[in-house]
Amino acid sequence: MGTGVVAMGFKLVGGPISFVIWSALLSASVIWTGFVLWRAGRMMQAASIKGDRQYDQHGKYLLPPEYARSESATAARRRGKKR
């Protein structure tokens, strides 16, 4: 049974339908890669916002006093959008 399945696969890859199969596989892989990159970007953005929020609430007060007035990049960006 195993050799018949392998032989059938070789017939499909070498036949005229191979262009359709390869096109479908390529399209699916491009769509999947796009989704994975989009999701990774969203996760990185969420982690950045979470880290900035933690810095604004706790981290900057552990630094020397002259840095206590500092703010995270996210807070500065939000303040800039309000103007």
22-76 per-position pLDDT tens digit? 889 999 999 999 999 999 999 999 999 999 889 888 888 888 888 777 888 788 8
Query: What are the domain boundaries of the chain?
Result: 2-82
- Quick one: tokens of 59? 């981290």
Unique residue bearing structure tokens 């969420």: 46
User: What single DSSP character describes residue 70?
Assistant: -
Question: pTM higher than 0.85, yes or no?
Answer: no
C-alpha neighbours within 13 Å on the C-beta side of residue 76: 7
End-to-end alpha-carbon separation of the chain, Å? 71
Quick one: pLDDT at residue 55? 86
Better-predicted residue by pLDDT, 78 or 40: 40
Stretch 5-25: mean pLDDT, rounded? 67
